[in-house]
Chain A
C-alpha cells in the first residue's frame, strides 16, 4: 500500500498544479527554437511532434475504444497524398488541401469503420492491415495521379499571408506545435465528454455498454472517423515537411511504430502519447550503433509491455477521486477510493 499512497501524492500534486505545470510546459515548447538547438535536433523534435499526433489519433481507437488498428499508415498515406496532390497539381493552398485531406480520410475512416459492426478483435486488426496494403497498392499503381513508385517531389511548403513557413525560420515547428495543441485539446475534450465515456464503456465491456443504451456500432464508427481524421491531418503536415513522399514512407513499419508508441506510453492516456513518442523517436537517434536493432527493440517493447505492464509506462489507473461531471462537488469525497486503485 505504501507505494500506492506515494504515487497518489505525486499525482495529486501534479493535479493540483496542473495549470502552472501545463503553462510552463507550453512556454518551454514555445521557446524551444530560441534555445540554440541545431537544425538536426529541431527536426527530431518535429518528428516527435508528428508521431505524437499519430499516436493521439490511434489512441482514440486503441486506447479509448479498444480496437487495435494495424492500418494507420494507410490513413497517414491518404492524408499526405491528398494534400500533396492538391498542392502540386491544383495549386491549392495548404489549409484547403489539408481540409480536403481530412475530409477524405474521414470518409475512408467511415468506410473502414463499417466492418466494425460485425467484427471484433483480431479480425478487425487484419481488415485494417489489409486496408493499408490496398492503399499502398493503389499508390503504387495509379500512376497518373500518384506518380506510381517514383513518388511526389517538390511538395511546396505552406504559406500564410505571403509568409512561407520553413524549417529555417521555425515556421514548420510552430505549425506543428499549433496542430499538436489543437489535437491534444480535441482529445482532452473527447475524454471528458459523453463520447469519451461511451467509448471507454465499449472498451471495458461492449455488451454491458449496449445494455446501458450506448449505440456501440455508431460510436465505434465515430471513433474510426475521428482517429482517421487526426491521422490524415498529421499526414498532410508530414507531406509538406519532407516535401517528397513515396509508397515507402507508409509501410507496415509505420503502423507498428505508432502502435508501439501508444502501448509504451499507456493506452488511453494523453501524457503517454507524448512520452512514448519521445522515447521511441529519440531512441534510434541516440543509439546509432544500435540502428539495426531498433525494429527488434520495437518488437520487444510490444512483448514486454504486454507481459509486464499492459497499461503502459504512464498508464496507471488514476487514484484521484472520480469527478462526476455534472455536479463536481459530489465527487470530492475521498473515502474508500484508495482501495480500488491499482498500482
Chain B
C-alpha cells in the first residue's frame, strides 16, 4: 500500500521537479520568484489541446505547444519584467507584476477555452504493470523517465555548454557578465524560454496522466512546484529534483492516510515549515534569501 503511494508520488514528483526547475532558473538569474509560472504551465496544456483540436496530430501539437509556451516566457520578460529592470524598480514591483501576468493569462485562457474541465488526449495506450504488489501505469513510468531525461538535458545544458556557462555567469553577476561580452538580455530571455518550455512539458505529462485540463490548473501545481524548489533550495538544480520527489511522495502518502481532501495542503505545510525552519532549503547556500 505504501509502496503503491511511493510509486504514485515519484512519478508526479518528477514532473513537479520539472516545473520547480523553471522557478529555479529564473530565480537564479533575476532573484525573482516568477509568480506567473503556474499560469504558463496551464497555457502549455491548453495550447496542446488547441492544436490537437485543429488536427495537427499529437506530436506536432506537443512540439508547437512547448515552443509557444517558451515564447510566452520570453514575451513575459520582454513586455513586463525587462522595463522594470531598466528602471531599477524594487523587487516588490516585479513580484506584483508577475502576479498581474498570471492573472491575465489565467483569465484569458478561461475566456478562450471556458472554465470547465476538458479532457486531454491520451499520450500512450495505458497499461498496468505490477511491480512487487504495487500497480504502476505505463503513463507513470513514461512521466518519470521523460522528466529524468529532460532534467539531465537541462543539467548538461547549464553545466557543459557555452550558453550554460553564460547563464551561470549572469547568475553570479549580471553587470560583470555584460562587461565580459555576454549578451545578458539574450541570456535572460533564453532562461525564460527554458523555464516556459520545461513547464509546458511538465504540464503535458501531468495532463496526460490525469487527462484533465482547465485554466486554473496551474495555480495549485505551481505552488507545489514552488514548495519543491524552496525545499531543495531555490536556484539549485538538484535541490529542485529532490524537493519535487519529496513533495510528490509526501502528498501521495498524506492522501492515502488522511483522505484526498488533504492532498493539496501538505505541500503548503512543508513550504511553511521549510521557510520557518530553514529558509535556504536543504541544499541552499547562505545569503540567498536576500531577494
- Give A residues with C-beta under 8 Å from B: 66, 68, 70, 114-115, 118-123, 125-127, 129-131, 133-134, 137, 140-141, 252, 256, 259, 263, 292-293, 295-296, 298-303, 306-307, 310
Contacts and interface: CB of A to CB of B under 8 A. Distances in A.
Contacts of A120: 289-291
Interface of B: 32-33, 35, 80, 83-84, 87, 89, 91-97, 99-104, 106-108, 111, 219-220, 223, 226, 230, 261-262, 264-265, 268-269, 271-272, 275-276, 279, 289-291
**Main SS of the interface on chain B?**
helix
A296 B83 contact: no
Contact of B91 (A122, A293, A299, A303): A122
Contacts of A118: 275-276, 279, 289
Contacts of A310: 89, 93
Max chain A C-beta neighbours (<10 A), residue from B220, B262, B276:
B276
A70 B99 CA distance: 10
A140 B261 contact: yes
Contact of A306 (B93, B108, B220): B93
Contacts, number: 121
A119 B107 CA distance: 30
B268 A134 contact: yes
Given A123-B230, A300-B100, A310-B93, 4 more contacts: A119-B275, A120-B291, A121-B291, A303-B104
B224 to A, nearest CB: 10
B108 A296 contact: yes
A123 B80 CA distance: 21
A122 to B, nearest CB: 4
A70 B95 CA distance: 11
A192 to B, nearest CB: 25
Max chain A C-beta neighbours (<10 A), residue from B89, B108, B111, B268:
B268
A118 B284 CA distance: 15
B28 to A, nearest CB: 14
Given A300-B104, A307-B84, A68 B279 contact: no
Given A133-B223, A296-B108, A302-B96, A122 B291 contact: yes
A126 B228 CA distance: 13
B197 to A, nearest CB: 23
Contact of A137 (B100, B223, B265): B265
B97 A302 contact: yes
B275 A302 contact: no
Max chain B C-beta neighbours (<10 A), residue from A119, A141, A259, A299:
A299
A130 B80 contact: no
What are the nearest 7 A-B pairs in CB distance? Answer: A302-B100, A121-B291, A299-B103, A299-B104, A130-B268, A122-B33, A303-B100
Nearest to B94: A306
Contact of A127 (B83, B89, B275): B275
Contacts of A141: 261-262
B96 A126 contact: no
A306 B84 CA distance: 8
Contacts of A119: 275, 279, 289
Nearest to B32: A122
Contacts of B95: 68, 121-122, 125
A192 B201 CA distance: 53
B265 A306 contact: no
A103 B212 CA distance: 42
Contacts of B91: 121-122
A307 B96 CA distance: 10
B291 A301 contact: no
A302 B226 CA distance: 22
Contact of B89 (A114, A293, A306): A306
B41 to A, nearest CB: 16
A260 B192 CA distance: 26
Nearest to A140: B261
Contacts of A306: 84, 89, 93-94, 96-97, 100
B96 A259 contact: yes
B272 A127 contact: yes
A121 B92 contact: yes
Contacts of A68: 92, 95-96
B92 A115 contact: no
A255 B84 CA distance: 23
B277 to A, nearest CB: 9
Contact of B223 (A122, A130, A259, A299): A130
A32 to B, nearest CB: 32
Given A119-B279, A129-B223, A133-B223, A256 B264 contact: no
Contacts of A301: 100
28 contacts: A115-B276, A118-B279, A118-B289, A119-B275, A119-B279, A120-B291, A121-B91, A122-B32, A122-B35, A122-B91, A122-B95, A123-B230, A131-B272, A133-B220, A134-B268, A141-B262, A256-B99, A256-B103, A259-B96, A295-B106, A295-B107, A299-B101, A299-B102, A299-B107, A302-B96, A303-B80, A306-B93, A307-B80
Contacts of A259: 96, 99
